[in-house]
């Protein structure tokens, strides 16, 4: 079908009547301005679209995000890869969500399904939804709407509320200090002192640390925004020890360096294996390294730092995220309440005032009176006093 101002539109039919009906409907849609060329959406499958997304869009993101998206794409390809983009409906996406949450794709030794974490499913749906958005905006795929936008996302669930007790902290620090590589103990202590993420600590280079000013400049962060982290005296001393380590090689400027890899280049120090072992041996299996960041941020708040100051140190963009990562101990709040009560009353506690203030029976008024001699006298009646002015 040809129409002035439009590219040629073609479609094959077995019956002439069907072709004529299609031509009339298409021409009518063009005239009304609602025509959508669905040919590309009918031909392109989800598998082809995801593969194109991984080849064109994913490489523009950070390395860690690239690895994550390739992992999230595998179940999408397995369950939805054979469908065309036009055949993907909200109900189909919702069915995929429910199956993943129920854990039907994996089972334990007894054959029972193992539910998948809600946040994992949320990230898979986010990848699928962004792929559809790119296809509609940049690839010329005509779809009425993004099917993922009309699907309810799984709830992310409550944030972690894991705090270290004094006994746990003591046993943890003792265990990491006994490790053969002192860098593990320095990294754990720096996390508790500064609230930096593990990836931010192990990728630090010598030029990012200014010990004279006692600051660390982070260039690559989780939220892509550089930030400057102040160092306590303890943290600065830890970096001095790391800088003066006797085994420091001359072929890298990493503060916490690892062994040379297959290509002969040194990468950051990796400690995940020994970290898991130490946790298990000390009864801290439920402790995540990221919990040390939670602990540090909470200690900042307990020390009297404002939300803005905590956000500047931790790098959180919103105050809501600061509150999520801040967990105050109830026993500390009890102490603060007692201190507040003592400030109000150094004796036995707050008193109730029962003495009433005296009331005035005569209201406060003012009036102007003109005397008989023609001069203007102003008589002002105030509470408890009367003043006469003569003008």
Which of 100, 189, 316, 327 is the catalytic position?
316
> Residue 210 corresponds to which tokens in the numbers above?
């200014």
Distance of CA 220 to the CA centre of its chain: 15
Torsion of CA 345, 350, 351, 353, to 10 degrees: 100
| DSSP per residue, 321-362 | HHHHH----HHHHHHHHHHHHHHH-SSSS-----PPPP--SS
**197 is known as an active-site residue:** yes
CA angle 130, 132, 138 (to 5 degrees): 95
Who contacts 67 (Cβ-Cβ below 8 Å, separation ≥6)? none
**79 is known as an active-site residue:** no
Distance of CA 105 to the CA centre of its chain: 28
Strand order in the sheet with 377-382: 365-369, 377-382, 385-390
> Residue 227 corresponds to which tokens in the numbers above?
């930030």
User: What's the count of helices (H) and strands (E) in the chain, helices before strands?
Assistant: 15, 8
> Residue 55 corresponds to which tokens in the numbers above?
């080849």
Phi, psi values for residue 267, rounded to 5°: -110, -175
Which of 290, 323, 324, 381 is the catalytic position?
290
Is the separation of the CB atoms in 44 and 84 below 8 Å? yes
**96 is known as an active-site residue:** no
Which of 97, 293, 299, 327 is the catalytic position?
293
State the number of CA atoms in the 13 A half-sphere of 106 facing the CB.
8
How big is the chain, counted in residues?
A: 391
Who contacts 187 (Cβ-Cβ below 8 Å, separation ≥6)? 198, 201, 202, 256, 269, 271
Pick from 269, 277, 272: nearest CA to 201: 269
Which of 133, 222, 317, 364 is the catalytic position?
222
Pick from 289, 270, 268, 269: nearest CA to 279: 289
Which of 100, 197, 227, 294 is the catalytic position?
197
**316 is known as an active-site residue:** yes
Active centre residues (catalytic): 197, 222, 290, 293, 316, 325
């Amino acid at each position: 079908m040809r129409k002035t101002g439009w590219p040629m539109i073609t479609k094959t039919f077995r019956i002439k009547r069907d072709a004529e009906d299609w031509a009339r409907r298409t021409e009518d849609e063009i005239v009304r301005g609602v025509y959508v060329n669905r040919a590309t959406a009918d031909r392109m499958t989800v598998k082809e679209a995801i593969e194109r997304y991984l080849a064109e869009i994913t490489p523009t993101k950070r390395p860690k995000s690239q690895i994550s998206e390739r992992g999230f794409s595998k179940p999408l390809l397995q369950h939805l890869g054979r469908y065309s983009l036009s055949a993907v409906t909200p109900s189909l996406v919702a069915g995929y969500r429910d199956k993943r949450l129920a854990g039907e794709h994996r089972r334990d030794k007894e054959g029972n399904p193992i539910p998948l974490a809600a946040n994992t499913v949320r990230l898979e749906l986010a990848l699928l939804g962004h792929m559809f958005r790119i296809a509609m905006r940049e690839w010329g795929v005509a779809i009425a709407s993004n099917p993922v936008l009309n699907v309810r996302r799984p709830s992310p669930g409550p944030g972690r509320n894991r705090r270290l007790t004094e006994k746990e902290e003591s046993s943890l620090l003792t265990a990491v200090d006994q490790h053969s590589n002192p860098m593990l103990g320095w990294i754990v202590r720096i996390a508790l002192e500064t609230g930096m993420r593990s990836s931010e600590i192990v990728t630090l280079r010598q030029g990012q640390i200014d010990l004279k000013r006692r600051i660390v400049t982070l260039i690559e962060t989780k939220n892509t925004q550089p930030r400057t982290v102040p160092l306590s005296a303890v943290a600065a001393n830890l970096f001095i020890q790391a800088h003066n380590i006797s085994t420091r090689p001359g072929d890298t400027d990493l503060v916490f360096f690892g062994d040379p890899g297959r290509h002969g280049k040194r990468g950051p120090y990796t400690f995940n294996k020994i970290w898991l072992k130490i946790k298990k041996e000390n009864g801290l299996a439920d402790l995540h390294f990221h919990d040390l960041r939670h602990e540090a941020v909470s200690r900042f708040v307990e020390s009297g730092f404002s939300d803005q100051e905590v956000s500047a140190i931790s790098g959180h963009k919103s105050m809501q995220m600061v509150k999520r990562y801040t967990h105050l101990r109830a026993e500390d709040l009890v102490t603060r309440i007692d201190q507040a009560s003592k400030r109000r009353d150094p004796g036995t506690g707050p008193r109730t005032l029962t003495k009433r203030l005296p009331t005035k029976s005569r209201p406060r008024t003012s009036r102007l009176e003109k005397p008989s001699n023609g001069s203007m006298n102003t008589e002002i009646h105030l509470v408890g006093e009367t003043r006469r002015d003569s003008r």
